[in-house]
Amino acid sequence: MPNVAVFNAAGEKIEEIALKDEIFAIEPNQYAVHLAVVSYLANQRQGTQSTLTRAEVSGGGKKPWRQKGTGRARQGSTRSPQWRHGGIALGPKPRDYVVTVNKKVKRLALKSVLSSKCSANEIVVLDSFGLDAIKTKEAAKVLSNLNVGKKTLIVLPEKDDVIYRSTRNICGVKTTTVGTLNVYDLANCDTVLFLKSAIAAVEEVYA
C-alpha cells in the first residue's frame, strides 16, 4: 500500500495514511485515460453552429436570365452557393458530439490517473483548511504552506461554499467534489490536493 503524509494548514506533517492499492497503485491504462479525456472534451461541445443552405436563404425564386443565348453561364437561382448572398454549400449543421464511454472504462481511467499521480508524488493530503469565513488570502497562505504546484485541483468530500469561494480567484486552482471528479481535471493539474475526508470517500466509492 502506498503511504502519503497528511499535513495541517501550516504545512506541518501530522500523520501518515495508507492508500488502497486497487485505486492508487494499479498499472495505469493509457488507452482508457485517452478515451475518457476525448469523451470529456467532446461532450463539452454544444454543437449548435448552423449555416443556411440554398433552400433556406430568402429570395432566388426567379431564374436570373434565360437558359441560352446570353453568352453567360446558365443559372437557375441567385441563391446558389457561388452567388453573393447565396446559400452555404456543405456548411455545419446542429449535431450531437457526445462520445460514450463504458462505465468500467471510466473507472479504470480514473484509477489509472490517480495511480500515476500517486507514483509521481503529486498527491497531497490536507487535514483541514481551517477557514471559518470566506478569505482568499488565508486560502492562498495554506496552499503556499503546502508548496503545491502551479495548477492545483482541490478535492472535497462534498460541496463546501467557504472553501470554494475562498479559492475560486486564485490563479490555477480549481475545486471539485468526489462526486464530480473526472479524468480530465486530474490529468490537467500539477498537484491533486485531497482533504483527508475526501480520500476516505474516494476509497469508499471506487474501491
- Choosing from 79, 96, 113, the residue where a domain stops is 96
- Choosing from 26, 61, 96, the residue where a domain stops is 96
Please tell me the distance from the alpha carbon of residue 104 to that of residue 3, in angstroms, as a whole number. Answer: 26
pLDDT of residue 202: 93
What's the number of domains the chain is made of?
2
Do both 31 and 123 map to the same domain? Answer: yes
Do both 71 and 34 map to the same domain? Answer: no
Do both 140 and 41 map to the same domain? Answer: yes
Do both 69 and 147 map to the same domain? Answer: no
Can you give the pLDDT of all 207 residues of the chain as single tens digits?
788 999 999 999 999 999 999 999 999 999 999 999 999 999 999 999 999 999 999 999 999 999 999 999 999 999 999 999 999 999 999 999 999 999 999 999 999 999 999 999 999 999 999 888 999 999 999 999 999 988 999 999 999 999 999 999 999 999 999 999 999 999 999 999 999 999 999 999 987
Do both 129 and 62 map to the same domain? Answer: no
Do both 142 and 199 map to the same domain? Answer: yes
Q: Print the SS3 string covering the chain.
A: CCEEEEECCCCCEEEEEECCHHHHCCCCCHHHHHHHHHHHHHHCCCCCCCCCCCCCCCCCCCCCCCCCCCCCCCCCCCCCCCCCCCCCCCCCCCCCCCCCCCHHHHHHHHHHHHHHHHHCCCEEEECCCCCCCCCHHHHHHHHHHHCCCCCEEEEECCCCHHHHHHHCCCCCEEEEEHHHCCHHHHHCCCEEEEEHHHHHHHHHHHC
pLDDT of residue 2: 86
C-alpha cell at 118: 500517486
pLDDT of residue 206: 86
User: Which residue range is the domain that position 12 belongs to?
Assistant: 3-45+101-206
Do both 29 and 111 map to the same domain? Answer: yes
